[in-house]
Every structure is written in structure tokens, then in C-alpha cells.
Amino acid sequence: MNLNAKIDFAELSDTGRVREHNEDAIGSIGEIGLMVLADGMGGYNAGEIASGIAVQIVTEMASDGANRERRDDIDSHSGLMRQSIVLRDAVYRANKIIYQTAQSKTDCEGMGTTIVACMFYDNKISIAHVGDSRAYRLRAGELEQVTLDHSLLQELVDRGFYSAEEAQRSTNRNYVTRALGVEATVDVEVHEYEVLPDDIYLLCSDGLPDMVEDDDIHLTISTFNASLDVVGQQLVDLANDHGGRDNVSVMLAQVKEPFPAKKSLLAKIAGLFRS
């Protein structure tokens, strides 16, 4: 199934007002419902190398996984589980390649990247992330952050030292506790969620929430949702208008109609026996 007919997509990445070059990387394949966003860090140009590797590896492996499902004609439940596994394994692989590159090339020493990636399948979405790049969902007028930052500040919130409101105003928001390429292995957080028509999903690097309050993100998406391209541009403009201290990248998806997976022949036969 080509999800371009079921889901609208938009994406935009900007250097911002302070940085000299863009260490964010984004990639998508609308046909299989894939969006990948990485926010690199490291020495001169090394951050963009790390984020570029992450997006390339995850995009290639997710595409290969989607093609295998078409060939195997598996049932939808197995397909959803495999989508999450594919995303997780792709991020694992990206971590390995970035770590090995950082170890073997002097000019890449110390590089790393955060990542958030999602894949739509069978009226659900799988989301994988490491670090503080985020995923949000707007549903029925309510904006929800569906990923929790892997950061020191989030750990302090979880332990009750900060409220969510205090964390929003904190100046110490960028100390991540997980990133790709820093260690030989990494703990990848993966979740699956039900998807409804009219849902809007936002992936973003920390250059957006560091500059723009969640309430303003909510208002922008709600106001301009007739065009995801306009939403993306407005969000980037807001981040830059508020200082643009970091690169800012946004990826958006709006679900237009249900996208149930095609049932395999085996699943159809099993259904006959259950009925």
C-alpha cells in the first residue's frame, strides 16, 4: 500500500540564526510511511556526519524491511511487530556504524547524534528514539509529547526535582543521557500507538522546543493545519524569531484516512476458521 494516498507529509530543516552549518539531518519515504530525524553533535563537521549516517542507515534498513513484508505477504499483526523491530534494529546498526567511524577517524572523534524515527503501518505508528529529539501528536485539539527526552533534566523531572513547567523554562535542557555513537551499544526506546484520522504527528530536533513553548507549537499547528508545508515553515520561523540558537528541523504527517494493512492469504483462512 502506498501511504502517500492516506497520509500527508512535510519536512523542513534550517541552520538557524547562530550556527554556521546545519548538523541536523532528515529523511523520509512517504510511500512506506517513514520519517527519520537526527540532530548531530561533535567537532567541526562531525555532527553532520553522525546525523547523516543515522538517517541513511535507518532509511535504507526500513525500506528493505518494508519490501520484505510485501514479498512475504505476512499478516498485519506480525507486520506491525516487524515494523517496530526493523526501526529498533536500524537504530542499533546506525549506532554501531557511527561509533566505529568515530573510533577510526580522528576528525570524527567524539561525534554522536540523537534520533527520532517513525513508521506508519496498519492504522498504527511505531516510534523509535534516542536522546532529546522529540515526537508530538495533535489529536482532537490536544497536543501531547509522545516521547520522553533521554536527558538529565527529564531524569530530574521524573524524580520530582522539577515540575514539567519548571523544566520548560530551564536553561539546562541539552545534557542528553543517550546518543548514537557515544558507546558501542545503545538503549533504543520503541513504542507503538493507535492512529486515528486527522491525527497530526510532529518530529523535531531540540532547536524547536528550546526556542518555542509547547503552547505555541500547539497554536501554530492548529492554526495552519490546512497546509503542513505552511505549518513547518511557521514553526521554523518561530524558532528563529525567538533567537534561533540551534539548527531546527521539523517533519510532519497528517493522517487523512485509515490505512489498514492488506491481510495475507494465511490470515484470511485463519479468520474463516475463527468465524
Residue 4 lies in a domain: no
The answer as to whether 184 is a domain residue is yes
Q: For 150-159, what is each residue's pLDDT tens digit?
A: 987 777 666 6
pLDDT digits (tens, 9 = 90+) for 6-18: 999 999 999 999 9
- Structural domain contains residue 7: no
- The reported pTM is 0.89
| DSSP calls for 96-158 | HHHHHHHHH-GGGTT-EEEEEEEEEETTEEEEEEESS-EEEEEETTEEEE-S---BHHHHHHH
Q: pLDDT band at residue 189, thresholds of 50, 70 and 90?
A: very high
CATH number of the domain at 73, please: 3.60.40.10
DSSP-derived letter for residue 84 is H
Taking only the tens place, the pLDDT of each residue in 79-123 is 456 789 999 999 999 999 999 999 999 999 999 999 999 999 999
In a domain, 2, yes or no: no
In a domain, 208, yes or no: yes
180 close to 186: Cβ distance less than 8 angstroms: yes
Count of domains for the chain? 1
Q: Which of the given ranges, 38-47, 73-82, 114-123, 161-170, has the highest pLDDT on average?
A: 114-123
Q: Which residue has the cell 491481510?
A: 263
Structural domain contains residue 174? yes
Domain that holds residue 109: 12-274
Model confidence band, residue 68 (pLDDT cutoffs 50, 70, 90): confident
**% residues pLDDT > 90 (the chain):** 76
Comparing 35-44, 91-100, 266-275, the range with the smallest average pLDDT is: 266-275
Strands (E), 2-122: 7-14, 24-29, 34-41, 112-121
Residue 256 forms part of a structural domain: yes
**Cβ distance 117 to 55 under 8 Å?**
no
Does the residue 243 lie in any domain?
Answer: yes
